[in-house]
Amino acid sequence: MTAQILDGKSVAAEIRQEVAAAVAKYVADSAAAAPCLTAVLVGEDPASQVYVRNKARACEKAGIDGRTHRLPADAGQAELMRLIAELNADPGVNGILVQLPLPSGGTTKYDEREILDAIDPMKDVDAFSPVNVGLLMQGRPRFLPCTPHGIVQLLGRSGLSVAGKKVCVVGRSDIVGKPMAMMLAQKTGSCGPGVANATVTLAHSRTADLAAVCREADCLIAAVGRPEMITGDMIKPGAIVIDVGINRVGDKLVGDVAFDDAKQVASAITPVPGGVGPLTIAMLLHNTLAAAKLQS
Ligand code: NAP
């Protein structure tokens, strides 16, 4: 079997076009200013700088006002909290995102949880705040977290459903694994059309016999951050494989799944790069428009 390659790049382009059209309509219909997304970048981490630049470019193409606030790595918790309070109070800012990770190597330490908790839940376009996580958990989401939402869109738009199927999510981070599991296990389609009623296993570093647990899954979602740790023998023949991992190995980017090996076994698989990655920014644009509409 050779798997269908799930082309995240083209699905993301489609969503970005849809968001751009919806932004233009929103601005024309409500005579409002363009939705505004403000990113906060602390320090000089090169990868974070690239991510923030890419987000700003994507905003511009969608007709969204993308701004970036830069603070030095040693700005400190109080200064960052002051900036968040200022952005919360600014009616011209619809979405706030703090680029993670915050600097941790120097003498200035940040309490990431306190910073994320301080973002106004109505402007929390990453959907990390406890209020938005709680709403998602209860099946009445305000914003869906961008990476899991991108995966849901990719599955849906590729004609793949996981309803009634066994899904294994490997990785239990607050950003990807946990919300992904929660979204797929909902009873109704509150997290997107067809996104419900999967039987979900959430695996992690303490899971006993991970290979056997993975082999049970009709859909395997890897969000671990370990290059190519999911090998073909861990995949049920015909399973859908979604690779969230982005790992730099030398000058190459690789996923958490050994792609060449896995594509011989899976029925559908995402590549890295060009799979899940592009969808995350597309869903951030979607959430920014949703935030602007909610606030108007
Ligand atoms: P994270 O916060 O580091 O969490 C990693 C998870 O993997 C943890 O739950 C950990 O288990 C689990 N894990 C680690 N080693 C394992 C092992 N040997 N077997 C089973 N589970 C193991 O990572 P994250 O933020 O979710 O990111 C995961 C990957 O996705 C990274 O490569 C990241 O770059 C990528 N990512 C991509 C996007 C995108 O847009 N495509 C977005 C976000 C993240 P414990 O909980 O037991 O420690």
Is 262 domain-assigned?
yes
115/201 same-domain check:
no
Which of 82, 103, 120 is at the close of a domain? Answer: 120
157/70 same-domain check:
no
184/226 same-domain check:
yes
Does residue 196 have a pLDDT over 90? Answer: no
Q: Candidates 154, 168, 176: which one to mutate for ligand 1, based on the most atoms within 8 Å of Cβ?
A: 176
Q: Can you give the pLDDT at residue 195?
A: 78
266/210 same-domain check:
yes
pLDDT digits (tens, 9 = 90+) for 151-186: 999 999 999 999 999 999 999 999 999 999 999 999
Distance 171 CA to ligand 1 centre (A): 5
153/249 same-domain check:
yes
Is 169 domain-assigned?
yes
Confidence of residue 191 (pLDDT cuts 50, 70, 90): confident
CATH number at residue 199: 3.40.50.720
263/177 same-domain check:
yes
Distance 175 CA to ligand 1 centre (A): 9
104/155 same-domain check:
no
Which residues have C-beta atoms less than 6 Å from ligand 1?
147, 170-173, 175-177, 203-207, 210, 223-226, 244-247, 276-277, 280
CATH number at residue 96: 3.40.50.10860
Close Cβ partners of 97 (under 8 Å, ≥ 6 residues apart): 37, 38, 39, 40, 55, 125, 126, 284
209/106 same-domain check:
no
46/84 same-domain check:
yes
Is 25 domain-assigned?
no
Is 150 domain-assigned?
yes
- Determine which residue's CA is closest to atom 12 belonging to ligand 1: 171
198/159 same-domain check:
yes
Distance 27 CA to ligand 1 centre (A): 38
Confidence of residue 189 (pLDDT cuts 50, 70, 90): confident
102/151 same-domain check:
no
Distance 265 CA to ligand 1 centre (A): 23
On whether the pTM is more than 0.85, the answer is yes
Domains of the chain: total: 2
Is 6 domain-assigned?
no
Q: Which residues are catalytic?
A: 55, 99, 126
pLDDT digits (tens, 9 = 90+) for 216-270: 999 999 999 999 999 999 999 999 999 999 999 999 999 999 999 999 999 999 9
Residue holding tokens 């993670």? Answer: 100
What average pLDDT score do residues 186-197 get?
82
233/116 same-domain check:
no
| CA triple 272-45-74, angle to 5 deg | 155
Does residue 1 have a pLDDT over 80? Answer: no
In the chain, the percentage of residues whose pLDDT exceeds 90 is 95
For the chain, the first-to-last Cα distance in angstroms comes to 51
Is 234 domain-assigned?
yes
Between 24 and 195, residue with greater pLDDT = 24
pLDDT digits (tens, 9 = 90+) for 25-60: 999 999 999 999 999 999 999 999 999 999 999 999
pLDDT digits (tens, 9 = 90+) for 106-148: 899 999 999 999 999 999 999 999 999 999 999 999 999 999 9
- Determine which residue's CA is closest to atom 16 belonging to ligand 1: 205
Confidence of residue 2 (pLDDT cuts 50, 70, 90): confident
Q: Can you give the pLDDT at residue 111?
A: 97
For the CA of 276, the nearest atom of ligand 1: 41
Containing structural domain, residue 247: 145-277
Is 3 domain-assigned?
no
Is 9 domain-assigned?
no
DSSP 40-72: EEES--HHHHHHHHHHHHHHHHHT-EEEEEEE-
For the CA of 281, the nearest atom of ligand 1: 40
